[in-house]
Amino acid sequence: MDRFRMIFQYFQSNSESVMNGICGLLALASVKMYTSFDFSCPCLPQYNMAYGLGIMFVPPIILFLCGLILNRQSLVMLEEWRRPSGRRKKDLAVIRYMCSSIMQRAMVAPVIWIIVTLLDGKCLICAFSGSMDPEKFVGFANVSTVQAQQLLAKVPCKDEELTSNSTSRKAVSRYLRCWSQALGWSILLILIIAAFLARWLRPCFNQATLLQARHWSNYIDIEQKIFEEACCEHSRLFAHKCILHFFESMRQEIKLHSFSLPREGEQAEGEEDLLRGITDQDQVNKLLKTWYCEKPPLDVSQAHQRHPLVRERSLLPWADNTSTRSKCPLHTSV
């Protein structure tokens, strides 16, 4: 009993830590993905903005969906939301609590991606270099509009021979990077302040409701896990009984066929018990073949009733090795 209690406590605390762990892993994965991704701005007027903004916003959506998929609690919440009421009422506060905790954890990795992108600056430079006002920069002021657009679009690419050493290119690049980093730090600051306030001010509102919601959401999670374990345990016992009954029915068939006098008190050795009356190569082969061709029914309550099919089978030829080797005998299913 003690052991089970310890295991349950482990699961209880572990559920939260597992989810936090997954959240952290996804955050690390998002940073790693960004650093290993080979950002390559197309430096073409129509494509820059789509590429830059795409790289900034599409991976966060992917990371958000991954965060929802990998979180086991999201399934639990959905089941709780969609189940019929039955004899247990649904508490919307609990569902809301679970939803908000799932969303908070799933938002961490996308936010980290966006912040890292902004602090690095490449995306914004790629996306908005074409939107710069050419008048502000010396190198682009004296050219036609179309050419200015072309040149501005090439700013993110350092290897372009037209603009590689140009000071104007560096000026545009620095300007955009400055904006990008300012935006990144501001977003980070706002988010941290919001998190701080939320955590500190929460006890001032509805603390009792919150405690209840948290308790019942943990309860639903644990109940789900225990149900799965109970099913697992049950199927193991079911299988055990089913196989024992199968061996027993084989032993009885063998007794029917073998006309031998019943052995008196032959249960002397433990090994004889384990052999379960199957003591011959043919018997073993027959057992294995029967296991494949005619799996026993999924019903362990009728263990010792003689099945009509067994009686019928006893009239068929028994040790017919050659013919029964390849094909399973046809029987009507019950």
Partner 1 sequence: MDKFRMIFQFFQSNQESFMNGICGIMALASTQMYSAFDFNCPCLPHYNLAYGLGILLVPPFILFLLGFVLNNNISMLAEEWRRPQGQRGKDPAVLRYMFCSMAQRAMIAPAVWVSVTLLDGKCITCAFCTSVPVESLGNASHPRLSQGEIQRVLARIPCKDIYNGQQLIANEVAVRYLRCISQALGWCSVLLMTTLAFLVRSLRPCFSQAAFLKSRYWSHYIDIERRLFDETCAEHARSFAKVCIQQFFEGMSTDLVAARCHLPRKAPADAGEAAEKLLGITDQGTMNMALKSWHRCKPPLHLHPPALPTGNGWAGEGQPPTYPSAPRRETAAYYSWV
Long-range contacts of 156-160 (CB under 8 A, 24+ apart): 156/41, 156/43, 156/48, 156/122, 156/125, 156/126, 156/129, 157/41, 157/43, 160/43
Token pair belonging to 237: 């016992």
Distances in Å between the Cα of 55 and the Cα atoms of 16, 81, 106, 117 are 32, 34, 19, 9
Give 210 or 246: the residue with its C-beta nearer to partner 1.
Answer: 246
297 binds partner 1 (CB under 8 A): yes
Q: Nearest distance from residue 194's CB to partner 1, in Å?
A: 26
For residues 276 and 291, give the distance between their C-alpha atoms in angstroms, rounded to a whole number. 15
* Residue (of 146, 96, 154) closest to 125 by Cα position: 154
Phi, psi of 330 (to 5 degrees): -80, 130
Q: Which of 123, 157, 220, 250 binds partner 1 (CB under 8 A)?
A: 157
Give 60 or 184: the residue with its C-beta nearer to partner 1.
Answer: 60
294 binds partner 1 (CB under 8 A): yes
In order, the DSSP letters of 293-334 are HSPPPS-GGGTTSPPHHHHHHTTS-S--HHHHHHSPPP----
User: Considering only 90-98, 113-121, 204-212, 227-235, which stretch makes contact with partner 1 by CB under 8 A?
Assistant: 227-235
For residues 323 and 289, give the distance between their C-alpha atoms in angstroms, rounded to a whole number. 12
CA 70 to chain CA centroid, nearest Å: 4
User: Considering only 23-31, 66-74, 132-140, 183-191, which stretch makes contact with partner 1 by CB under 8 A?
Assistant: 66-74
Q: Nearest distance from residue 147's CB to partner 1, in Å?
A: 15
Contact 100, 120 (CB under 8 A): no
291 binds partner 1 (CB under 8 A): yes
Phi, psi of 52 (to 5 degrees): -60, -50
Give 152 or 157: the residue with its C-beta nearer to partner 1.
Answer: 157
Q: Which of 25, 69, 143, 198 binds partner 1 (CB under 8 A)?
A: 69
145 binds partner 1 (CB under 8 A): no
Token pair belonging to 114: 């966006």
- Residue found by looking up tokens 């019903």 in the block: 299
Q: Which of 23, 55, 112, 151 binds partner 1 (CB under 8 A)?
A: 55
54 binds partner 1 (CB under 8 A): yes
301 binds partner 1 (CB under 8 A): no
Q: Which of 28, 193, 231, 303 binds partner 1 (CB under 8 A)?
A: 231
138 binds partner 1 (CB under 8 A): no
Q: Nearest distance from residue 6's CB to partner 1, in Å?
A: 12
Contact 222, 8 (CB under 8 A): yes
110 binds partner 1 (CB under 8 A): no
The three-point CA angle 142-148-150 to 5° equals: 150
Q: Which of 191, 284, 303, 316 binds partner 1 (CB under 8 A)?
A: 284
Q: Which of 28, 61, 138, 141 binds partner 1 (CB under 8 A)?
A: 61
Q: Nearest distance from residue 314's CB to partner 1, in Å?
A: 13
Give 10 or 185: the residue with its C-beta nearer to partner 1.
Answer: 10
Instruction: Show contacts with partner 1 in window 6-25 (CB under 8 A).
Output: none
Task: Give every CB contact of residue 76 below 8 A, 6+ residues apart in sequence.
Answer: 98, 220, 221, 224
293 binds partner 1 (CB under 8 A): yes
User: Considering only 41-49, 90-98, 113-121, 171-179, which stretch makes contact with partner 1 by CB under 8 A?
Assistant: 41-49
For residues 112 and 109, give the distance between their C-alpha atoms in angstroms, rounded to a whole number. 5
Token pair belonging to 69: 């998929």
User: Considering only 113-121, 133-141, 169-177, 286-294, which stretch makes contact with partner 1 by CB under 8 A?
Assistant: 286-294
Token pair belonging to 192: 């941290």
316 binds partner 1 (CB under 8 A): no
